[in-house]
Structure formats: C-alpha cells, structure tokens
Amino acid sequence: MDAIKVDKLTKKFDGFTAVDDLSFDVGTGELFGLLGPNGAGKTTTINLLSTLLKTTSGSARVAGYDVAKARDCVRKSIGVVFQEPALDGKLTGRENLEFHAMMYGMGKAERRARIGEVLRLVELEDRASTLVEKYSGGMKRRLEIARGLVHRPKVLFLDEPTLGLDAQTRRHIWDYIRKLNCEAAVTIILTTHYMEEADYLCGRVAIMDHGKFVALDTPAKLKDLLGGDVVSLEVEGNTAALEEALRGVDWIKKIKLHEDVFSLTMEKGERRIPELIQTAQGLGIMVNCVHLRKPSLEDVFLHFTGRTIREENAGPNGRSGPPMRGHGRR
C-alpha cells in the first residue's frame, strides 16, 4: 500500500490556484523530494497532506487515511518539521519535547529514552534545560527537527529541515534521516532549496512550479534529461572552423560558443576529450583549457524553473502571482 496517494489535489485562495490538480503516489518507506522556487506550492502541498489546510478539490490519503475524513488518524500517523518556528519559548528544550511526546501518548520511560536520543542527534544535550527563547536560530531549528522525530511517525514531513544549520550539523541530520528511512521504513516527504540535499537523500524528486509538477523521477534520470555531460573547451585560433567540424560529429548533442569557449553536451564526456583535442589540433587550433562537468540537480532545477521563467512571470512585487494572505504559497 502506498503511504501517500494524491488524486487531482487542488487548493485555491480567493480564486488563486496555489496547488493545481496534483496526482502522485509515494510508496511506503520512500524518501520523496519536493523541489521548486519560492511560490511553487511546496509548503501548501505539505499543509494539505498534513491536514493543516482543507482541500478545494481532489483527494489525498496519508498512511491509509483520508486527509478530509480522518484528520485525527492522519495526525497521529505523521510528524512535521515546519519551515516557520513553532516552539514555545517559555519552555526549555526538554520540556518542548516532553510536551510533544505526551501529546502522542508516549509513556514516561519511552519518552525519557527517546528524548535523550533526539537531543543527542541534534547536539542539544547541554542546552536541554535552557529556555528556548534564549536559543539561537540554529538551535531552535535543531530542536524542531528533534520534536518532529520524537514519536517515530509513519510518515514524516520535512519542510526545509536543515535551513539555517551549519554544514556539519546538516550532514549529521542527513545521515540520521537516511538511517530512519532505511531501517525503520519511515516514509519521508522532503522540501528543500539545497539541491545537494535532495540528490543525496531522495529516491525520487518532483520539481514543482506554479502549483504543478513539471518533472518527476529519480535524480539520476532527471539529470539525464539534460542530454549528458558538458565539456568546456577554451581555445585559441579559428573558432568558426572548429565549430563547423564539431557540428559534423554525431555524438555531440549541443554546441554553444561564447567568445573563445565551446560548451559541448555529450554522453561519456571523459572518454571524448582526447578526440576533441585531436580535432582542434588537426585544424591548427590551440586548446588552452578543458573542463568536464557532470549534470547536477541544480542544472535540472534551473532548466525547469530558471530565472527566465521566474522573471517573465513575476508580478509587480517581484514574486510570482498575486500576494497571498494567511498560509503563503511556498
């Protein structure tokens, strides 16, 4: 059974469509990523699936429960790490976790053991008795991650979970998320602006823009959509002659020339570099520099939701679409 099943899910705010007819499934134990620019609809989708917003139309089931008809059952089965702070500053870090665990019906011994585990995970053991209002922004973020994990949910929603964390702590959280996903078969839905985070963690990634999915597949297959490796050649000599010669090569898929630098898209670029240099030298052209770059998820992201798309569709306030009230379209 799928952990999440979404069918034609739509959410409108005052006639503005924030989530537009989404349909997708997430398998039990899958780690699924949602990528997209601000305003794409990622956070609104999370809010719908976690029952924080009511759908306009369509349906969704989470952990086997209908988000519209069995909201309490859904909430008992999920954990959420929100993008915005949601801690009680007048309680200590441990008290925040204690209160959350009690709300989920965890016994005293289990609460104590589990709270100790997650405090160690986010390296807040020494600040567990400090009031949260005295925490730094990074410490608050780490405590929220701990809170979302404390009750061992079946489905965990992570909305920008490592935002504001230093690189070492971020990597620590990544490793724990992977362990949690693999060993406990917890289904995880992750939204992130860190492309390397999605590439490292997610089995599948959906790229979202203007409330719709514009691409959905494994990170490797999404990167393959770009057509292969990019080899850059900085040359000195008759670039027109080299361009003409390269256009006759069947394994070069794309050619771009900017001043004296060629950008060539091809498969298995590392094997083709000697042939490229030989072709240039045969025309009496000096190759000053060669650079090979494998496609990244960042390249895929920019391909589907790049600055050109965003600028062309930006409203007068510089953001896509009209300004929102209440729950923002993120």
Per-residue pLDDT, averaged over 4-21, amounts to: 96
Domain ranges of the chain: 2-223, 227-294
At residue 312, the pLDDT reads: 35
* pLDDT surpasses 50 at 98: yes
Going by CATH, does the domain composed of 227-294 fall within 3.60.9.10? no
3-state helix/strand/coil string of the chain: CEEEEEEEEEEEECCEEEEEEEEEEEECCCEEEEECCCCCCHHHHHHHHCCCCCCCEEEEEECCEECCCCHHHHHHHEEEECCCCCCCCCCEHHHHHHHHHHHCCCCHHHHHHHHHHHHHHCCCHHHCCCEHHHCCHHHHHHHHHHHHHCCCCCEEEEECCCCCCCHHHHHHHHHHHHHHHHHCCCEEEEECCCHHHHHHHCCEEEEEECCEEEEEECHHHHHHCCCCEEEEEEEECCHHHHHHHHCCCCCEEEEEEECCEEEEEECCHHHHHHHHHHHHHHCCCEEEEEEEECCCHHHHHHHHHCHHHHHHHECCCCCECCCCCCCCCC
* pLDDT surpasses 60 at 148: yes
Band (170; pLDDT cuts 50, 70, 90) = confident
Band (141; pLDDT cuts 50, 70, 90) = confident
At residue 182, the pLDDT reads: 83
Task: Tell me the per-residue pLDDT of 278-309, one tens digit each, with 9 for 90 and over.
Answer: 999 999 999 999 999 888 888 888 777 753 23
Going by CATH, does the domain composed of 2-223 fall within 3.10.129.10? no
Per-residue pLDDT, averaged over 21-35, amounts to: 95
* pLDDT surpasses 50 at 329: no
**Identical topology for domains 2-223 and 227-294:** no
Q: Global pTM?
A: 0.76
At residue 306, the pLDDT reads: 59
* pLDDT surpasses 70 at 315: no
